[in-house]
Amino acid sequence: MQKLTMAQKDAGAAASGGRTGKPHAVVVVYPMQGHIVPETHLALRLAARGFAVTVVTTEAVHDQTARALGVDPAGHDAFAGARAAGMDVRCELVSDGLPLGFDRSLHHDEFHGSLLHALPGHVEELLGRVVVDPAATCLVADTFFSWPATLARKLGVPYVSFWTEPALIFNLYYHVHLLTEHGHFGCNEPRKDTITYIPGVPAIEPHELTSYLQETNATSVVHRIIFKAFEQARGADYVLCNTVEELEPSTIAALRAEKPFYAVGPILPAGFARSAVATSMWAESDCSRWLDAQPAGSVLYISFGSYAHVTRQELREIARGVLASGARFLWVMRPGIVSSDDPDPLPEGFAAASAGRGLVVPWCCQVEVLSHAAVGGFLTHCGWNSVLESVWAGVPMLCFPLLTDQITNRRLVVREWRVGVTIGDRGAVCADEVKARIERVMSGKEGEELREAVKNVRTTLEAAAAHGGSSQRSFDEFVDELTRRCGGC
Ligand code: UDP
């Protein structure tokens, strides 16, 4: 690790100091899978547009990603392939303040506490070295960080805040003071009536807010992170958002009245295929042979993402529903999905009962799976990347949001775009409902309607991302502005 870090330091210094006429983007990645994926691809996009890019990630993420690939972390250079393809991009590592072997999933609060308290000092120390020419540099950092506006001011560089969730959620957090003033948040008995005063959001129900905005105790470490992060977001020079203008027009218009706000999504791996830069934190099982043997549209893909936990009880109800539906399925059972100390949470006999029609893997290349013709539905926790990927692949969703933005994302999927259905809420999910929903989506008329709807939304995404489309134009404007501001040619 030490050897690599030194090599990278030299390369990074050369990158930021030795180049003339090239803007330098320092991209600081939030150390969680759902942020790593879009932030890595944003970094590559900037590099493809002529930026010299320094990606800052944590030692723990670097270590876990290398191990997932089966390579020695000390010799792993994630962006070597991108450089070989002509991009000026390299990586710097920073400590998140915890030992490498620390179980961040099991000790959620300690991990987030460390991101809040220890990481900022390490990043500041690193950026003091990496930002050699402030006039040519911009800081691109995840909106969830609690320090970027302050640090950017100190360094004398612009702060580009990158929001990896829908604009709607940025808007809700940005206006948390309104929710508090109106009694929908931050009190013991929040109001239950429709929220109608968030700029650009005609109406949203309290139960559609993110989980953190529904909690009455707002003193958790994640709440502290969110409050600090959005104080910082007010100081951002630019906001980039992984969404599409046509999908959230009124919210985006309202945010544009506040800040230069660029909707540049969907940010996906190039070609919607396995990325040249590995981003997975777990080893990807190859599911292609199994999928090749299944009939078109017959497989339900099931995954709850990288972060949230489900309870044993919820998992069992879903498993019973899946079995009873008779559907073929590919289920990602991430290690620690219930808890790191509960390695085998599926009901007893599940493997035998589903033999021949189901495959359970610890992790996969999700974009590859979703693009496979055999996949006809996605039972998802509604992580924002998963939602965008599912729409891009034309696959309708069965929604089981667990926490954070996933609750609000479900509103977009089910209520606004009608490309998915709900299977029930946390704590109340039951096998019969799961079975019925799976049957309707995989083989019923409801499934046909959803497939039609998802095709339409997919067309919107494709048009936005195509030459001359809204996201492409937005990204062009952003690149032009940054290139001008950072003194490039
Ligand atoms: N993912 C993957 N393989 C898996 C499960 C997930 O590659 O087996 C990827 C998925 O494609 C997505 C990311 O991990 O890009 C998860 O992000 P998301 O926002 O959907 O959920 P989160 O993990 O943040 O809850």
Q: Where in the chain is the domain with CATH 3.40.50.2000?
A: 6-273+465-485, 288-443
Could you give the residue ranges of the DSSP H alpha helices within 18-130?
Answer: 33-48, 59-69, 80-84, 108-117, 119-130
Give me the residues paired with residue 52 across strands. Answer: 24
Contacts of 480 (CB under 8 A, 6+ apart): none
Predicted confidence band of residue 276 (pLDDT cuts 50, 70, 90): confident
pTM metric for this prediction: 0.95
Residue 8 has pLDDT above 90, yes or no: no
Q: Which of 148-152, 288-292, 441-445 comes out lowest in average pLDDT?
A: 441-445
Farthest CA pair distance, the chain:
64
Please give the backbone phi and psi of residue 427, each rounded to the nearest 5 degrees, phi first.
80, -20
Find out whether 255 and 263 touch, Cβ atoms under 8 Å. Answer: no
Q: Integer distance in angstroms from the first to the last C-alpha of the chain?
A: 36
CATH of 6-273+465-485, one of 3.40.190.10, 3.50.50.60, 3.40.50.2000, 3.40.50.720: 3.40.50.2000
Could you give the residue ranges of the DSSP H alpha helices within 278-377?
Answer: 288-292, 312-325, 350-353, 366-371
Residues 329-344 have pLDDT tens digits of 999 999 889 988 888 8
With a pLDDT cut of 70, the percent of the chain lying above it is: 95
Residue 473, helix vs strand vs coil: helix
Q: What is the pLDDT of residue 444?
A: 86
Find out whether 270 and 292 touch, Cβ atoms under 8 Å. Answer: no
Choosing from 37, 303, 400, 402 the residue with most ligand 1 atoms within 8 A of its CB, the one to mutate for a pocket test is: 37
* Sign of torsion over alpha carbons 301, 108, 178, 256: negative
Q: Ligand 1 mean position to 60 CA, how many Å?
A: 18
Q: Output the residue whose Cα is nearest ligand 1's atom 21.
A: 383
Please give the backbone phi and psi of residue 79, each rounded to the nearest 5 degrees, phi first.
-100, 15
Q: Ligand 1 mean position to 485 CA, how many Å?
A: 34
Q: What is the pLDDT of residue 458?
A: 98
State CA 479 to chain mean position distance. Answer: 22
Average pLDDT value for residue range 447-452 = 97
Average pLDDT value for residue range 475-479 = 98
Topology (CATH level 3) of domain 288-443 = Rossmann fold (3.40.50)
Choosing from 29, 30, 32, 33 the residue with most ligand 1 atoms within 8 A of its CB, the one to mutate for a pocket test is: 33
Q: Which ligand 1 atom minimizes the distance to the CA of 280?
A: 7
Residues 206-242 have pLDDT tens digits of 999 999 999 999 999 999 999 999 999 999 999 999 9
Average pLDDT value for residue range 81-85 = 94
What the block records as the tokens of 328 is: 């073929």
Closest CA to 264 of 339, 361, 345, 160: 160
Quote the CA–CA distance of 210 and 196 in Å, as a whole number. 16
Residue 402, helix vs strand vs coil: coil
Q: In 323-382, at which residue ranges do the beta strands (DSSP E only) sit?
A: 328-332, 358-361, 375-380
Give me the residues paired with residue 53 across strands. Answer: 25, 89
Q: What is the pLDDT of residue 198?
A: 98
Q: Output the residue whose Cα is nearest ligand 1's atom 2.
A: 366
Closest CA to 55 of 46, 64, 63: 46
Ligand 1 binding residues, C-beta < 6 A: 33-34, 37, 280, 303, 305-308, 332, 363-367, 383-386, 389
What the block records as the tokens of 290 is: 């199994």
Q: What is the pLDDT of residue 488?
A: 52
447-459-452 Cα angle (round to 5): 20
Pairing label, strands 299-303, 375-380: parallel
Number of H helices and E strands in the chain, helices first, is: 21, 13
**356 CB-contact burial (10 Å; exposed 0-12 / middle 13-18 / buried 19+):** exposed
Residues 283-304 have pLDDT tens digits of 999 999 999 999 999 999 999 9
What the block records as the tokens of 121 is: 């000092």
Q: Specify the residue for token string 């540049």.
A: 264
Q: What is the pLDDT of residue 487?
A: 78
Residues 389-403 have pLDDT tens digits of 999 999 999 999 999
Q: Output the residue whose Cα is nearest ligand 1's atom 9.
A: 366
